[in-house]
Amino acid sequence: MQAMVLNKLGAALEWTELPDREPGPGEIRVKVAACGVCRTDLHVVDGELPNPMLPIIPGHEIVGRIDAVGAGVQGLRVGERVGIPWLGHTCGVCPYCMDHRENLCDRPLFTGFTRDGGFATATVADARFAFPLGEAGDDVALAPLLCAGLIGWRSLVIAGEGKALGLYGFGAAAHIVAQVARWQGRSVFAFTRPGDTATQAFARDLGATWAGGSDEMPPQPLDAAIIFATLGDLVPAALQAVRKGGRVVCAGIHMSDIPSFAYRLLWEERQLVSVANLTRQDGLDFLRLAPGMGIVTKTTPYPLAQANQALADLREGRFEGAAVLVP
């Protein structure tokens, strides 16, 4: 197998030839057809997340077909198309797992962070954390759903049922969530980097009621806002934009420090919450509904060997939607 491997934090990924890996008990081996490039991959490469496994193969928006099955695997077969997400394993016995909150597991493994991921021609995964995808849809188009879509879905559920929804940072996750929110009958207000008229036009093309810079106020108070951007300065801005009793959801795994802000922005029962990881139930719920939502992911494909270029283009915002590696 071939893979793009991170050997040192902050360094470029290296093209590496590796022996084919056999799945152990409870595992499957998947021939990778497509793997999305997520901002979390940037955080891993840049060393912004603590205690990664090194060397590591990044990538956690994996679509592929099972080509080997380990002992004890049930419900999955060779040749079946599956998706492999960020959450790659949980202990099953800690208080959070026992309370159906496995996204907060005390001893988790994360795909592309603490177990090898999908920037490769093949990967091995815990079979319990692989989602059957069926045969509908293109591999490249489906890949962003495995993180941008799943985390976006969890964030949307946590945001509540308000009709006026703000999205701060209009990248891979927001361009999916905007479509889901419109399917649900909500109005979407998109916030981009100030002056980024191209992304604002992209948001309006996806049905946003309004699109403007993150330094602007929306034309009406928001019921809720989801922050996908990694800039902590957006937290007080979003709190100022939501109505009394509104909710601000921080959806990223990493964010710069949140500046101090006046208590009046939080007063009147506004809420500030975060989203951590996902549960398998999130995946089952979203992937069951997704085919009927009419989601169209905008993707920019790259050959596997150009993973470093894809990461650089993501960092600089050189494309709309999501980058996807194709082995």
**Model confidence pLDDT, tens digit, residues 30-66:** 999 999 999 999 999 999 999 999 999 999 999 999 9
Q: Which amino acid makes up residue 273?
A: V
- Taking only the tens place, the pLDDT of each residue in 256-271 is 999 999 999 999 999 9
Q: Domains of the chain: which residue ranges? A: 2-135+297-326, 149-274
> What are the tens digits of pLDDT across the range 282-307?
999 999 999 999 999 999 999 999 99
How confident is the model at residue 153, as a pLDDT? 97
CA separation for the pair 101, 143 (Å, rounded): 24
pTM listed for this prediction: 0.95
Domain 2-135+297-326 coded CATH 1.10.10.410: no
Cα-based torsion angle of the residue sequence 217, 221, 227, 232 in order, rounded to the nearest 10 degrees: 60
CA proximity to 86, closest of 120, 121, 107, 62: 62
As a whole number of angstroms, the distance between CA 61 and CA 58 comes to 10
Interval 80-100: pLDDT, tens = 999 999 999 999 999 999 999
Task: Looking at the structure, give the CATH architecture of the domain made up of residues 149-274.
Answer: 3-Layer(aba) Sandwich (3.40)
